[in-house]
Amino acid sequence: MQLPRYDLGDEVATRDAFGTALAALGTARGDVVALDGEVGDSTRTEEFAKEHPDRFFECYIAEQQLVATAVGMAARGWLPYASTFAAFLSRAHDFVRMAAISGSGLNLVGSHAGVAIGQDGPSQMGLEDLALFRSVYGSTVLYPCDANQTARLVATMAGLEGIRYLRTSRGKTPVVYGPDEEFPVGGSKTLRCGEDDRLTVVAAGATVPEALAAADRLAADGIRVRVIDLYSVKPVDAETLHRAAEETGCLLTVEDHHPEGGIGDAVAEAFGDGRPVPRLVRLAVRTMPGSAAPDEQLHAAGIDATGIAAAARMLVEEAVVR
């Protein structure tokens, strides 16, 4: 299989990388089928449809039927990848739950996640999907931040069991990983690290570039912070989180998702084994978003580089009583 390769610094949407990688996977494996809910031009499954039209299935605006068809194909020995907007997969939650009970193996991909989609507004924003899929028995939840990471995880999903969910983003993001980087399920990537780190920022997907930008701003002010890309939301990399907690004392999670059931909860649960719990602070989408440009949406939610840097400064400053 020849996955797409992207150069460092390129600006590529993870949904674009998903479509190209899925088409490549379909070329390498004749058992791969793709299904979509009439948004293939947006999810980018149209790339698979162009190259493998006999293995692409249009399910139209019927998300329950989308998942049900994928379950049936898996039972017949095919390897299904079913895609639609992350927000619309909530309509098929019961079918996903029953698929897990049945021991079905299928790959689900939700695009247009979070407020970062911008002007489309809250009806199109997937802000509950991480909670939905983390709660499914035996599920795997992946949230890549760049194109090379996305391509690798699309291929990795083919070898997993149970319900696998991949969250992709609408807008372009910078490529921060080389094409030969490995991303094992249950792992993470530490993108900034030093002996004098004063706290750790834990991000994933669309908030990773914002966390890196915030870290650069803070470093210019003499405040060093660690940055972890938690691309595997379930299972989570507890070992790396424990080490970061021991070495920096505070974890600041930032996610383009509601605070309930997302990255913040995944990090908190990593400390449910009885060991001392570090200081945990969460940045998430806590208000009802409207329709605005992506950068305006991230800023309004307090999860852009400015919001992350401001929260970090508050956490490392000593309180002064006057």
Judgement on whether residues 103 and 233 belong to the same structural domain of the protein: no
Q: Is 43 exposed, middle or buried (0-12, 13-18, 19+ CB in 10 A)?
A: buried
State the average pLDDT over residues 152-178. 97
* Domain-ending residue, one of 114, 142, 174: 174
Judgement on whether residues 169 and 55 belong to the same structural domain of the protein: yes
CATH number of the domain to which 267 belongs: 3.40.50.920
Whether residue 320 has pLDDT greater than 80: no
Range of the domain at 273: 189-316
Whether residue 322 has pLDDT greater than 70: no
Q: Is residue 4 part of a domain?
A: no
Judgement on whether residues 166 and 17 belong to the same structural domain of the protein: yes
Binned at pLDDT 50, 70 and 90, residue 276 comes out as confident
How high does pLDDT run on average in the chain?
96
Q: Is residue 322 part of a domain?
A: no
Query: Which residue from 123, 124, 127 is spatially nearest to 114, judged by alpha carbons?
Result: 127
Structure tokens at 309: 């840097």
Q: Name the domain count of the chain.
A: 2
Judgement on whether residues 258 and 118 belong to the same structural domain of the protein: no
**Residue 81 to residue 3: CA distance in whole angstroms:** 16
Judgement on whether residues 299 and 218 belong to the same structural domain of the protein: yes
Active-site residue, selected from the candidate residues 63, 128, 210, 255 = 63
239 carries an active-site annotation: no
Judgement on whether residues 155 and 208 belong to the same structural domain of the protein: no
Of all residues in the chain, the percent with pLDDT exceeding 90 is 95
**Residue 292 to residue 304: CA distance in whole angstroms:** 14
Query: Which residue from 140, 248, 149 is spatially nearest to 189, judged by alpha carbons?
Result: 149
Amino acid 257: pLDDT: 98
200-232, pLDDT tens digit by residue?
Answer: 999 999 999 999 999 999 999 999 999 999 999
10-46, pLDDT tens digit by residue?
Answer: 999 999 999 999 999 999 999 999 999 999 999 999 9
Judgement on whether residues 279 and 209 belong to the same structural domain of the protein: yes
* Domain-ending residue, one of 110, 144, 174: 174
